[in-house]
Amino acid sequence: MSIEVIHTNKAPAAIGPYEQAIKANGFVYTAGQIALVPETGELVAGGVEDQARRVLDNVTAVLEAAGTSWDNAVKTTIYLNDMADFGAVNAIYEGYLGSSKPARTTVAVAGLPKAALVEVDVVALA
């Protein structure tokens, strides 16, 4: 099995013992991305909409660094601090997908790192 570590400065550095993404056996597995600004490592200012855009920009940068895109996404997971934000995050998420409609799970969680409101991870074809 071939495993390749994926890293880009266009997404925030990992805040723990993990990689931004791993490419293995024709797939890219991204780590969950929260709304950290890549240059500062700080949570983006604003509410859930601002955080969702930053999260999805971060995921996009990681996918591009791996040589893939949202067009090749096969599975996503969205973690929300509050399920009341589902509609707002869903509308922003849909704008990033284009014609792709990967399988998806959305769950409410008790908390996210750095008190983030939303986190997203993706599995995509490499």
Q: Which CATH number is 34's domain given?
A: 3.30.1330.40
Q: Is the pLDDT of residue 51 over 90?
A: yes
As a whole number of angstroms, the distance between CA 62 and CA 124 comes to 11
In Å, what is the CA distance from 93 to each residue of 6, 33, 47, 52? 23, 13, 15, 8
3 state DSSP class of 119: strand
Range of the domain at 89: 3-125
Q: Is the pLDDT of residue 113 over 90?
A: yes
pTM of the model: 0.96
Structural domains in the chain (count):
1
Query: Which pLDDT value is given to residue 99?
Result: 86
Query: Which pLDDT value is given to residue 98?
Result: 81
Mean per-residue pLDDT, 9-22 = 96
